[in-house]
Amino acid sequence: MKKLLCYLKDYKKETVLGPLFKLLEASFELFVPLVMAAIIDVGIVNQDLPYILKMGGVLVILAFIGFVCAVFAQFFAAKAAVGFAANVRKAIFDNIQKRTYSQMDSFGTSTMINRLTADVNQVQTGVNLVLRLFLRSPFIVFGAMIMAFTVDVKGALIFVVTIPLLAVVVFTILLVSIPLYKKVQNALDAVVTKTRENLTGIRVIRAFSMEEKEVADYDDKVAVYKHLQLFAGRVGAFMNPVTFTIVNVATLFILWQGAGQVDTGVLTQGELIALVNYMAQILVELIKLANLIITVTRSLAGADRIADMLEEKVGEENGGEAVEGVKEITFRNVSFRYKNAGADALQNLSFTVKKGDIVGIIGGTGSGKTTLVNLAAGFYQATDGEVLVNGKALCDKDLATYREHFSMVPQTAVLFSGTIKENLQWGKENATEEEMWHALTLADAAEFTQKKEKGLDSEVLQGGKNFSGGQRQRLSMARSFIKDADVFVLDDSTSALDYATEARVRQGIRKLSEDSICFIVSQRAASIMDADLILVLDNGELVGKGVHKELLADCSVYREIYSSQFPLEEEVQHA
């Protein structure tokens, strides 16, 4: 939490004024029992009607000033909390924007989104409540005690015993029940998971006739949850009765002691009532404080999670020489291992590609194809060996300028909400319509775009849901093709296309590659067999390097892949 406090600095004034006004309000509240005592001891005893009215007026004025103070306090607290949340959100978003690929991997998308939404909301509520109540409640509790001292020292001693006792009880119950509620939450999560599983797996469960076992498992989970819930509830059930008892017993002590004090004339009847009233105020505030602590622990947990994320050093060191253009990329004994992974994702890779080349990368699932192109594009850094650009080590170059020469077609074809035009502008901000149509044509997406009523201005829904998988892939390719890049990377980006369409796209790529380097990652031999250089990967190792014919002759993995897809080539040709 401490680390997040710097995001409050724009709201220093509010952070101080909020609690201050709250304290003012509380102090006015503390005067009320004293005024009441005066009414009884002076007004009633002297039968002084105007005095009573005057004191009544004082009560109203106290209430009104208290109200005004409270309004100010609420305003400042809300302003500080909301502003703080906005600052934190911005900081998190900025942090995410700066992350390199491997830094993103260490958190995961849904975690990052959670930090940015749910966690920030929780922290906002926490800050708001703390500013409003965290000072108020202890202030009233101790204020009541101090006021009690001004009324009667002996009576006040009862407060001195009662308050720590109450505090111990309240905090013990809290300390015991907070971890319990965490357990309850975990048990509930297990029930949620099981519920989801029974829906997502309904076909499999029914196919295996496992309904009864699943129901029995579920009943177990529900029973565990119930058990924990009851246990935690039992602890919580102590809170009200025990605090109630302590405060009321203390009141009885005040009464008993007061009897003696009044008898000897040390205390008046009105003052005795004031003491009783102060005791009542304490109970109310303590209960508020307990609720507050529960909320605050929750937001503290959220704050810790956010701080963890913000603390991580993100971004990459910029500097180094700017890259003017990419004419040649060389891998020299490159190995790469993902953070926390047990084995290398790529092992000792060496090859060179030049402008005008189409490079095909083929291999099974998990063989390291995507890792290879991400290394080539500088999204990850080699853990061993080096990547050279135009013959010079990439690590001495400015990666941001290097990546500007790349245009990527990612594996999952994601479009962004907006129009087709806006999506294409991701590739080139100031692209002309002519350029757009050219890119669409290369990606074989011009035809269906033309057929759309609004053409380039056709709406794209979030994720591109209103386009078919194949159309999405083609639009996502067009988005990359429009960029004046030196290197194009297509990461398995034609998997949803039928073979005839893919053939047309391949012609487009051929055109594109005349003046650039094209990396094509694929599982299909057909997609890469006419490449100028084919890299065959198997479990992170480069097991083949060459053109189709050569590999067919001397790379067994390539041959196996090929024959698994072209089983009886002759048969088709002769049929």
259 binds another protein (CB under 8 A): yes
Instruction: Give the residue with the Cβ less far from another protein, 229 or 383.
Output: 229
Beta pairing class for 418-419 and 358-363? unpaired
Q: Provide the strand spans (E) within 515-556.
A: 517-522, 533-538, 541-546
> Which of positions 431-460 make contact with another protein (CB under 8 A)?
none
Residue 23 lies near another protein (rule: CB under 8 A): no
Inter-residue contact 403 to 446 (CB < 8 Å): no
Determine, following the binding rule CB under 8 A, whether residue 466 of this chain makes contact with another protein.
Answer: no
What is d(CA 539, CA 536) in angstroms, rounded to the nearest whole number? Answer: 10
Taking the C-alpha atoms of residue 329 and residue 322, their distance in angstroms, rounded to an integer, is 16
Smallest gap from residue 373 Cβ to another protein (A):
11
Specify the length of the chain in residues: 575
Residue among 35 and 388 whose Cβ is closer to another protein: 35
> Residue 248 interacts with another protein (CB under 8 A)?
yes
Among 13, 98, 339, 452, binds another protein (CB under 8 A): 98
Part in contact with another protein (CB under 8 A); list of ranges 41-49, 141-149, 155-163, 166-174: 41-49
* Structural contact between residues 312 and 192, judged by C-beta atoms closer than 8 angstroms: no
How far apart CA 112 and CA 325 sit, in angstroms, is: 34
Q: Is 64 in the site for another protein (CB under 8 A)?
A: yes
Paired tokens of 290: 């307990």
Residue 385 binds to another protein (criterion: CB under 8 A) = no
- Cβ proximity to another protein, 409 vs 442, nearer residue: 409
Residues 274-313 that bind another protein (CB under 8 A): 276-277, 280
Q: Are 22 and 132 in contact (CB under 8 A)?
A: yes
Q: Tell me the C-alpha distance between 482 and 500, whole Å.
A: 23
Q: Give the contact letters, 393-432, x = binds to another protein (CB under 8 A), - = no.
A: -------x--xx-x-x-x---x-xx--------xx-----
Binding residue (CB under 8 A) for another protein from 138, 201, 455, 546: 201
Q: What is the DSSP string of 109-160?
A: HHHHHHIIIIIHHHHHHHHHHIIIIITHHHHHHHHHHHHHHHH-HHHHHHHH
Exactly one of 6, 117, 160, 312 binds another protein (CB under 8 A); that residue is 117
Tally of CA atoms within 13 A in the half-sphere of 572 that contains its CB: 5
- Segment 76 to 95, residues that bind another protein, using CB under 8 A: 77-79, 81-83, 85-86, 89-90, 93-94
Residue among 3, 6, 101, 176 that touches another protein (CB under 8 A)? 101
Nearer to another protein, 64 or 142 (CB): 64
Distances 59 to 55, 195, 273 between C-alpha atoms, Å:
6, 57, 16
- Helices vs. strands in the chain: H and E counts, helices first: 23, 12
Among 150, 172, 185, 240, binds another protein (CB under 8 A): 240
Q: Smallest distance from the beta carbon of 139 to another protein, in angstroms?
A: 16
Residue ranges in 516-575 that form contacts with another protein under rule CB under 8 A = 523, 526, 557, 560-561, 564-567, 569, 571-572, 575
Tokens, residue 7:
């995001």
Which range, of 57-65, 138-146, 303-311, 508-516, touches another protein by CB under 8 A?
57-65
Query: Strand, helix or coil at 360?
Result: strand
| 218 lies in the site for another protein, by CB under 8 A | yes
Would you count residue 376 as binding another protein (CB under 8 A)?
no
Size of the site for another protein (CB under 8 A): 155
Closest contact distance (angstroms) between CB of 350 and another protein is 24
Q: Quote the radius of gyration of the chain (alpha carbons, Å).
A: 36
Please, what is the minimum distance in Å from the beta carbon of residue 468 to another protein?
Answer: 9
Does the protein bind another protein through residue 236 (CB under 8 A)?
yes
Question: Looking at beta carbons only, is 389 or 415 nearer to another protein?
Answer: 415
CB of 169 to another protein, least distance (A): 13
- Are 349 and 335 contacting, i.e. CB atoms less than 8 angstroms apart? yes
Q: Which is nearer to another protein, 168 or 350 (CB)?
A: 168
How far is the CA of 448 from the CAs of 440, 443, 453, in angstroms? Answer: 10, 11, 10
